[in-house]
A and B are shown apart, each in its own frame.
Chain A
Amino acid sequence: MTDLDQRITSTLRERAKGEIDTRRLLRAARARGHRRQLRRRAAAGTALTLVGVLGFVGVTGTDFAGLPGRLPWIATTPTVAPAVPPRADGVPGAAQRPDLVGTDARVLHLSLDTSQARYLRWDINVYAEVESIRFSVAGELPVVVDVSRSAEQLNNMGIDGPGSQWIRVPLAFDGGVQPVGATGGLAKGWQPFPGVYARATMLVGDRAALDRAVDALRWNEARRCEAPLRLTTLPKDATVVGCKADVSAVPNGVTAELTIGRGESSVMYVRLMYGAQIAGSRSDGNRTVDGRPAHLDDKRGQLELLDIPKAHLVAQFGWPWPGVDPPKGYVSFTEADAETLLAGARLPEELGRPDTWK
């Protein structure tokens, strides 16, 4: 063993030391595991309910033969139009301006052919310089397409695998397809245009399904990052640096998150979680924001507006990860900043209806 080896070993041994309460670890792991099991069962129950509903629709009269050209997934959602981010008029797509990809939190520089595909989520992250769309083609399992001007950025991102596992997928972006994890997933990396890198991943599926998904992409049309949440006021020197909307559960649920940045590191997240089945209301307000009841969780650095039916609107202004020290020099946004944001937050009348979000 060399001197360097010894120094590494002794350093690691020293840093690994510390008191360990195994019983507490077991108790906490079991409690969390139990909660996780309950959530999984609840999700499975929801899926079974959905299967029941779809079965009912099929039995009671939707005649696919009478709906030429309509896809099965469209036939199951007759009352609310699927969410589609609106066209960004006057803004070129990635095909025309690849240099704009990932630069504007308000604009997706790619889109989908909605006669083939359905949007499930869209996401723009200006700090990461990545634009993403999660979607399904003809009711097949979801595909996520991430686009960036940097191949390295995409390779560093990894993908979320089953069971919340993170899977690193190093791609050559030469059009090749490679397996992902051990679940039968696939990943394809390619360059649709010089200077733009794209990655399509699916956790389960076959190559034909992946190709169909890639075929549904449109690169010559930009779309606005539409979300059922608008901010009319921003704290001083702050800008919107991220926009995300998950519309996979529309009309019964939708989540949206806007990320606000200031300077090199300060971030604040404004999250809207709408669920048609959210019942009751909170009465533990300890603040008012523009005359409206609100709750400040000082410990977690969160301010929530309490008067929105069936929804939670939260501004996370403090350091978002309890138990993790912020980097030296980190400057949080403040409660006053959060108040400014929430006072100017505007929501549509019907959160479950994307056609009212404009």
Chain B
Amino acid sequence: MTFEEYVGNRGPALLRLARLLTGDEHRAEDLTQDVLARAYVHWRKIVRADRPDVYVRRMLVNANASWWRRRSSQELAVDTFAERAERDDLSGEAADRDEMWRLIRALPDRQRAVLVLRYYEDLDDATIAQILDCSPVTVRTHAMRALTHLRERCGAPTTNGSRP
């Protein structure tokens, strides 16, 4: 598979994944381009990997976690500016999804990544663990914490059939 074929097939999915990880259209595009640029340089090595797409998605998740750090931005106390959903002009399902999105965005990076990979990419825990470079147990722990957090804040029942 050439680099061009890979981007043609998987580029859109990577960009959509980046949108969910970053929560920002522009940064998602920048992040995806940056990761693909790095993949371009090492493509011969990547394409020989067992699952190149897992490797590239891992690059994307890692790059998202570190973009601000490489720009010396640890100084930014962005936590003091909690974003609030603008619900006044929304109603029903749209407002519900807006609120859910706000909660998902507020999750720690790893927890959000697990939810996105599980619920949007529909990956199993073993594959998510490969992407996040951790154990499946850690994946389940992140998922459990994220789901608990969401349940507590959006009023969902505490006993249900969600995967832990």
Contacts and interface: CB of A to CB of B under 8 A. Distances in A.
Are A and B bound to each other? yes
A40 B38 CA distance: 11
Interface residues of B, number: 65
Contacts of A34: 40
B156 A4 contact: yes
B69 interface: yes
Contacts of A7: 96-97, 100, 154, 156
Given A7-B154, A157-B69, A168-B65, A15 B20 contact: yes
Contacts of A264: 77, 80
Interface string A236-265: 000001101000000000000101010011
Interface residues of A, number: 66
Interface stretch (A199-207, A286-294, A297-305, A326-334): A326-334
Interface string A1-44: 11111011111111111101010011011111111110010000
Nearest to A161: B62
A324 interface: yes
B37 A265 contact: no
A87 to B, nearest CB: 26
A282 B32 CA distance: 33
A2 B41 contact: no
Contact of B75 (A17, A29, A160, A261): A261
Nearest to A25: B11
B83 interface: yes
B8 interface: yes
A40 B41 contact: yes
Interface of B: 3-4, 7-8, 11-12, 15-17, 19-20, 23-27, 29-30, 32-34, 36-42, 59, 62-63, 65-66, 68-78, 80-81, 83, 96-97, 100-101, 104, 115-116, 119-120, 147, 150-151, 154, 156-157, 160-162
